[in-house]
Amino acid sequence: MSRAMRARGVLSAVAAIVVLLSCDAASARQGAVWVAPPTGDRDGLALLARIHHAYVSVPAVTVSGRSGTLLFHWTLVLRSGVGIAEEFVAQEASKTTLLVAARGGPTFAREPGSPCWRALRSSDPQALDNLGLPFPDQPAMEVRAPQTTSTGALLPIVIDREPGRFSVDHSFQVRLITVNAGGRRILEHVTVPRLVPKFARPEPRC
């Protein structure tokens, strides 16, 4: 699911909408299940390969956006372009939800008002499930034919029958992720932090 939809489900008990970042890949993160690589248009896959290469030496990416009154951002730590740890923060009014995960382990959630961190099952819709994959890949991702723009390229994608796209600059890094969910268009801005931020420590545990 998109991080925005994940957050809105966490904070407002709205049913989760599977859009961009969703699939039970917890066992895949532990090496038990092989996750098939993206499929689709040949030129789109060639562009995706160049995007992968652009992140080989990048230590982390941060993605931020808004969905209505909900503000969210998530940071993905990379090793050779592959996600190894992630933190997701969602804020709506005075409520804040935190999710953290490391490759090979569960996602821990700290809900608004809770004094402790809860370990999520891999099947939980809040569980972070894109670790162990090259950025910006997602499980079961299909790519379509890319489009050239004055600033780089657009790479249309489909996840679980929901459309989206990556806006890519001339260095082949993603600058914007566009998500369409429930009739709403959500923009997620991608940046490379100068330093890898320290994640919240999931303690004490519930």
**The domain that contains 30 carries what CATH number?**
2.50.20
- Do 159 and 112 contact (CB within 8 A), yes or no? no
Q: Flag whether 126 is in a domain.
A: yes
Residue 159 pLDDT: 85
Q: Flag whether 68 is in a domain.
A: yes
**Integer Cα distance of 157 and 92 in angstroms:** 28
Compute the radius of gyration of the chain from its Cα atoms: 16
Residue 181 pLDDT: 72
Tell whether the model's pLDDT for residue 88 goes beyond 90.
Answer: yes
Q: How much is the average pLDDT of 20-36?
A: 41
| Mean model confidence pLDDT for the chain | 84
Q: Flag whether 78 is in a domain.
A: yes
Q: Flag whether 163 is in a domain.
A: yes
Q: How much is the average pLDDT of 17-37?
A: 41
Task: Classify burial at 112, counting beta carbons within 10 Å of its beta carbon; exposed 0-12, middle 13-18, buried 19 or more.
Answer: middle
Q: Which residues contact 155 (CB under 8 A, 6 or more apart)?
A: 44, 47, 48, 51, 143, 144, 146, 165, 166, 168
What pTM was computed for the model?
0.82
CA distances from residue 35 to 25, 47, 122 in whole angstroms, order as listed: 8, 20, 15
Question: What are the residue ranges of helices labelled H in 65-184?
Answer: none
Residue 110 pLDDT: 96
- Do 157 and 143 contact (CB within 8 A), yes or no? yes
Residue 136 phi/psi, 5° resolution? -105, 30
Tell whether the model's pLDDT for residue 201 goes beyond 70.
Answer: yes
Q: Flag whether 67 is in a domain.
A: yes
Residue 90 phi/psi, 5° resolution? -125, 135
Domain extent for 177: 3-191
Helix, strand, coil proportions of the chain in percent (round to 5)? 15, 40, 45
Determine which of 22-36, 61-75, 117-131 has the lowest per-residue pLDDT on average.
22-36
Pairing relationship of beta strands 174-181 and 184-191 according to DSSP bridges = antiparallel
Q: Flag whether 77 is in a domain.
A: yes
Q: Flag whether 79 is in a domain.
A: yes
Q: Can you tell me which residue has the tokens 């953290």?
A: 100
Indicate the pLDDT class of residue 197, thresholds 50, 70 and 90. Answer: confident
Tally of domains within the chain: 1
Greater model confidence, 139 or 75: 75
Q: Flag whether 74 is in a domain.
A: yes
CA 47 to chain centre: 19
Tell whether the model's pLDDT for residue 12 goes beyond 70.
Answer: no
For 22-59, b where at least 16 C-beta lie within 10 A, e where not — what string?
Answer: bbebbebbeeeeebeebebbeebbebbeebbebbeeee
